Amino acid sequence: MNFTFSSQSLTTVNADAIVVPVYEDASVSPAAAEVDNICGGLIRTLIDEGDCKGKVGSTLWLPLNNAPWKRLLIVGAGKSEECNDATLRKVLTATIKILKESTAKSALFCLGDITIPGRNTEWLGAFASETLESGMYQFTELKSKQPEPAALTNIIVHTQEGQEAAMTHALTQGAAIARGAATAKTLANLPGNICTPTYLADKAEQLATEYPCLKTQVLDEAQMEQLGMGSLLAVAQGSEQPATLVVVSYQGAAPDSQPHVLVGKGITFDTGGISLKPGEAMDEMKFDMCGAASVLGTLQAIAEIQPKLNVVGIIACAENMPGGRAIKPGDIVKSLSGQTIEILNTDAEGRLVLCDALTYAERFNPASVVDIATLTGACVIALGAHATGLLANDDALADELLSAGQLAGDRAWRLPLWDEYQSQLDSNFADMQNIGGRPGGTITAACFLSRFAKNFKWAHLDIAGTAWNSGKEKGATGRPVPLLTRYLLNKA
């Protein structure tokens, strides 16, 4: 999708469709009034007749005659004084749903009719392009019949005010974030028999070919063995699929500028291993690489936007299977850090791959390290599907991530990482065990990781509840690509 900005008089902007938000309180906002004038009072009449009530996300799709636009899409925006990020998202989602199924090639979106307290025009622009572009996403690669591609290729975002350069920049940023999220969604939606650790490594290499500002390095099992990544390799040993550790780096600042490191959990399928999971909804464990997918998606967005900072993405990829060589409960492994781990549950494998990747992150002399993982079912119980769990050893870093999430409409919520929880990981036989019992499961998982993150500012994002939708709308969400990209852009 191509996004452009216009602040010219609406009537001078031709398009196949014009999209006008209308409020519940029957007030006609500036753009709506202008359109109304040209269309002989059409909007006013619809409101007066009660055919247009302005309920959030409701739509009316009408042909126009003798206007610069072929069609009019009226979208309900609710009560004007209650407009917030969530209402705007509903307005945009309803809009793109209609537009992408129509034959309109271009659409003019009257964003100037929307005001949200605390949000400036550029924020609205970035949010709009991101949400509209996201609404175009579909995953049809594995259907034998491909649907017709949508006709819509151009969206003109209109506001009365707004600086051309700043708005164009905002629109580009939003669209880049959505495209990064789309990459993450597609990788995650691909099934485990296609998206293997090797596939993720290939994808990372492909990204580096597409974007010359990215560089990719792939470590194979032999190299990891050499380094001493006994914990990561232990997870992969029950599978026919070899593990990979992939480093993607983006250089946008001086080489000596400390990079911001992202570490993603890339379990391409999590059966639980010998501590086998129950069968119900086990297919969803193909999404257990959403952390890794979000790292690649974020690096893609960063490569498109090209901010002035250095970023390193590390993805730890393996398949967790109950093979003949698989790890068993009670097995003790030695991590890259030298610390030994008693594996009491082979289903707590995410932390086992992440701990070695975190230790590996040290060699990049990071300004900060953020890991992203579908780590615990407990996080789904604690926060549901709306907030990502956030735990950190640094308050400033935690706050930066929280506010990036607020800005991006991709929110996180912090949980405590108090020392009192650490003793749940005490082991009689090794330096630690890999599970801490049911109480505070998300916290003890983060406590485990914190033992490998002592030498840098570190935060952990548990995306078990937010990375994908279950049920009828089953599919990856692309989260937290918006949060991560916003966080990094704020750092530049």
Binding interface with ligand BES (CB under 6 A): 270, 288, 345, 347-350, 374-378, 380, 435, 441, 464
> Whole-number minimum distance, CB 385 to ligand BES, in Å?
11
> Whole-number minimum distance, CB 100 to ligand BES, in Å?
30
Active site includes 351?
Answer: yes
d(CA 331, CA 221): 20
Which residue number is nearest to Mn ion in terms of Cβ?
347
Active site includes 277?
Answer: yes
> Whole-number minimum distance, CB 285 to Zn ion, in Å?
7
> What is the SS3 assignment for 347-382?
CCCHHHHHHHHHHHHHHHCCCEEEEEECCCHHHHHH
Q: Which residue has the tokens 């060699």?
A: 363
d(CA 332, CA 431): 10
**C-beta of 218 vs 378, nearer to ligand BES:** 378
> Whole-number minimum distance, CB 34 to ligand BES, in Å?
49
- Among Mn ion, ligand BES, Zn ion, none, what binds residue 403 when CB lies within 5 to 8 Å by partner kind? none
- Which of 34, 133, 288, 319 contacts Zn ion by CB under 5 A? 288
- Among Mn ion, ligand BES, Zn ion, none, what binds residue 345 when CB lies within 5 to 8 Å by partner kind? ligand BES
> Whole-number minimum distance, CB 343 to Mn ion, in Å?
12
> Whole-number minimum distance, CB 194 to Zn ion, in Å?
18
**C-beta of 259 vs 350, nearer to Zn ion:** 350
Catalogue the long-range contacts made by 48-57 (C-beta closer than 8 Å, 24 or more residues apart). 52/22, 52/76, 53/24, 54/22, 54/23, 54/24, 54/25, 54/26, 54/78, 55/24, 56/87, 56/90, 56/91, 57/90, 57/91, 57/93, 57/94
130 binds Mn ion (CB under 5 A): no
Site string for Mn ion, 228-267 (x = CB under 5 A): ----------------------------------------
d(CA 290, CA 484): 13
**C-beta of 39 vs 379, nearer to Zn ion:** 379
Please identify which of the residues 70, 90, 351, 479 carries the catalytic annotation.
Answer: 351
Site string for Mn ion, 264-293 (x = CB under 5 A): ------x-----------------------
- Which of 122, 304, 342, 347 contacts Mn ion by CB under 5 A? 347
| Residues contacting Mn ion: total by CB under 5 A | 3
Q: What are 70's two structure tokens?
A: 């072929």
- Among Zn ion, Mn ion, ligand BES, none, what binds residue 464 when CB lies within 5 to 8 Å by partner kind? ligand BES
- Which of 21, 54, 291, 350 contacts Zn ion by CB under 5 A? 350
Residues 6+ apart with CB under 8 A from 190: 141, 142, 199, 286
Residues 6+ apart with CB under 8 A from 440: 378, 421, 424
Please identify which of the residues 277, 334, 414, 491 carries the catalytic annotation.
Answer: 277
- Which of 130, 270, 342, 462 contacts Zn ion by CB under 5 A? 270
Residue positions annotated with a catalytic role: 277, 351
